[in-house]
């Protein structure tokens, strides 16, 4: 019974496709799409993150920077462009799935909290510039208020293939 049950239950796996670190939703050229940037506190000794590193940070699987300081992940309130992008491209989750994910993670004592939420993208940027160890995703803007913009997979915003790019909705 056991091998037969395994075969039946694992059959759906063949329908699953491997996924890239960041969900590929972006389309169009850099001039057409809306870009988002990963911002971190300027004291952070990091210039670049891989897509997978970024995903693990937002999933709470990585909680400390290489210098030993704690990562403080910030996210916008529901409805903000930054939050929509983070849930869509990094988490690949709906609001309900995101909520359940963090409840489960706290219940399993893997963390004591999820990302801190701020009301606006501007507030995210402001706090990242003031809080050591913090990181957030905000719409690209000429004024980053003293926060450091990190490249992703070695790509800076505007570069071809930059992953945090979405078609205007």
Partner 1 sequence: MRTAEKLAGLEGSLWHTDRAPTIVIDLLVRIGFYGNVLYMTRAWFVVVGFLLVGSPPVIAQDRGPQTRVLGFTDFGYVAGDGTKDDGFRLGQLVAQASSQLTPRVAFFTELTATRTATGIRFGMERVIFRYDFSDALKLSGGKYHLPISYWNSAFHHGSWLQTTAARPSPIAFSTPLVPVHVEGLLAEGSLPVSDGLLVGYMLGVVDGRGTALAQKYGLDAGPMGANPAGGIAIAADYHRQAYIATVQLRPSALRGLQIGGALYTDRPMNGLGQQVDERTSSVHFVLERDSPEIIVEHTWIQHRETLGGSWTTGTAWYAQVGQRLRGTLDAFMPYARVEGIDVADDDPLLGGIQATQDALVLGVRVDFVSVAALRVEYRRDSMPARDLNRLHVQVSYVFGGLSGG
Helix (H) or strand (E) holding 77: none
If one asks whether residue 19 binds partner 1 (CB under 8 A), the answer comes out as yes
Q: Which of 18, 39, 26 is nearest to 134 (CA)?
A: 39
Judged on CB neighbours under 10 Å (0-12, 13-18, 19+), 77 is middle
Stretch that binds partner 1, among 30-38, 74-82, 137-145, 160-168 (CB under 8 A): 74-82
Within 8 A by CB and 6+ apart from 67, the residues are: 45
Q: Given the structure tokens 């993670």, which residue do they identify?
A: 105
Per-residue contact flags (x/-) with partner 1 for residues 88 to 127, judged by CB under 8 A = ----x--xxxxxx-xxx-xxxx-xxxxxxxxx---x---x
5 binds partner 1 (CB under 8 A): yes
- Residues lying near partner 1 in the complex (CB under 8 A) are found at 1-2, 5-6, 9-10, 12-13, 16, 18-19, 21, 50, 52-53, 55-56, 61-64, 68-70, 72, 75, 77-78, 92, 95-100, 102-104, 106-109, 111-119, 123, 127, 131-134
């Amino acid at each position: 019974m056991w091998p037969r049950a395994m075969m039946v239950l694992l059959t759906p796996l063949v329908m699953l496709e491997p996924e890239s670190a960041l969900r590929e939703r972006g389309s169009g050229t850099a001039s057409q799409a809306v870009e988002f940037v990963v911002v971190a506190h300027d004291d952070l000794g990091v210039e670049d993150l891989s897509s997978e590193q970024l995903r693990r940070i937002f999933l709470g699987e990585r909680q400390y920077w290489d210098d030993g300081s704690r990562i403080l992940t910030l996210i916008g309130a529901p409805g903000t462009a930054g939050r929509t992008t983070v849930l869509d491209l990094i988490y690949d989750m709906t609001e309900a799935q995101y909520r359940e994910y963090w409840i489960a993670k706290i219940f399993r004592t893997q963390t004591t909290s999820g990302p801190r939420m701020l009301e606006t993208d501007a507030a995210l940027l402001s706090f990242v510039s003031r809080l050591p160890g913090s990181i957030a995703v905000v719409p690209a803007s000429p004024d980053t208020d003293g926060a450091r913009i990190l490249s992703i997979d070695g790509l800076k915003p505007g570069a071809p293939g930059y992953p945090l790019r979405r078609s205007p909705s």
